[in-house]
Amino acid sequence: MNNFMFKTLIERKLIDLNSKAGKAYQKIKASLEVAIREKKSKVIGFISVNHNEGKSTALLNIANSFASIGKKVLVIDADNKGASLHLYFALPNEKGLSDIILDDAKVDECIVSTGQNFDLITSGKEVEYINSISGSDKISKLLDELKEKYDLIFVNVAPTKSSNDAVLLAHVIEGFVLVIKRKSTKSTDLDDALKYLTLNQKVNLIGFIATNAKSK
């Protein structure tokens, strides 16, 4: 497994890509770009062990880094119980991924502009849908449709300690980046997460990001 490991300071916002932290994200983007090219991946999932470890902020800043070089990027919030991506842009979460899966809304109704260089599908109403066969199949069909419109799709996935979603979505997410919080994520929790992910051969873990996070 060829993967990367980076450490970065994270605040709950999109940062200036020319700043010190922004340059760190550019390095992460460069490493991730290699992994994406080698695997010919278009759908990348971001996971963490727990909430509040910087996963969402890391995902959004990396998405912004790719969008800044002309890639057409979509971000999807699939962390239904810990939904937070809409908050970064002061957007409502009235219609989103869960509404698409439950046939309560059309895809185009749920794609919103972040005001940056990429689009977002928020999580939608809080309901269980991923852990059903029909829900998983619908997500697979949705991603196949969206891959025709976007160069890259980044998916915010629920933490491993509270959810089985990473394994359930492994057949449609082509690579995962694990985000951990330095001096906070317990080594035992991290070990359990790595065993859980690596024992499932469908989960393609392509990299790690260690944060000093004050954010989700």
Q: pLDDT of 74-107, one tens digit each?
A: 999 999 888 889 999 989 998 999 999 988 999 9
Which two structure tokens, joined as six digits, stand for 118? 């990429």
In the prediction, which pLDDT does 7 show?
45
Q: How far apart are CA 78 and CA 101, in angstroms?
A: 11
Q: What is the pLDDT of residues 19-46, one digit of tens each?
A: 777 778 888 888 888 888 887 889 999 9
Residue 11: pLDDT over 70? no
Q: Report the pLDDT value the prediction gives residue 36, as an integer from 0 to 100.
A: 82
Dist. CA 47–CA 176, nearest whole Å: 7
* pLDDT given at position 200: 66
- Using CA atoms, how far residue 185 sits from 117, 144, 181, in Å, is 32, 34, 5
Could you give the domains of the chain? 21-211 (3.40.50.300)
Q: How confident is the model at residue 214 (pLDDT cuts 50, 70, 90)?
A: low
Q: What is the pTM of this model?
A: 0.86
Q: Look at residue 131 and tell me whether its pLDDT is greater than 70.
A: no
Residue of 77 and 130 predicted with greater confidence = 77
Mean pLDDT, the chain, rounded, equals: 83
For residue range 154-180, what is the model confidence (pLDDT) as tens digits?
999 999 887 888 888 888 899 999 998
107 contacts 120 by C-beta, under 8 angstroms: no
